[in-house]
Amino acid sequence: MSDRTATATVQIDNNHLRVTEWRFASGEATGFHRHEHDYVVVPTRDGELKLVDSRGKISYAQLRQGQSYFRNAGVEHDVINNGAGEMVFIEIELKDTAIGKTL
């Protein structure tokens, strides 16, 4: 876990979704968190992330500019920029898919 925190800038936040830009210098992290909603990540740069789950298991993800990915709610992790340069991505949380929410 890194003691340097990435910068999160919320761009949109309404009843249906939240759009956040994440900027990470090398070694910066989100801090451990749980995703309460389904979400999409849109990388705006290439880079490598180090992911640490709730049990301390470490994995790595290669992000490519413009290659989006989707994850279901419930993911728990700390996300750390493992590359030499700045990492930037847009995270879109789908609030209509909250854990425990009945539609």
- What is the pLDDT averaged over residues 41-48? 98
Q: Which residues pair with 76 in a beta bridge?
A: 34
Residues 12-24 pLDDT 10s: 999 999 999 999 9
Distance CA 51, CA 56 (A): 9
Task: Report the first-to-last Cα separation within the chain, whole angstroms.
Answer: 36
- What is the pLDDT averaged over residues 33-45? 97
Domain spans of the chain?
A: 7-97
Report the percentage of the chain scoring pLDDT > 90: 89
Q: What is the pLDDT of residue 80?
A: 98
**Domain 7-97 top-level CATH class:** mainly beta
Residues 59-88 pLDDT 10s: 999 999 999 999 999 999 999 999 999 999
Output the six-digit token pair for 80: 């750390």
**Who's near 102: CB < 8 A, 6+ residues apart?**
none
Q: What is the pLDDT of residue 2?
A: 58
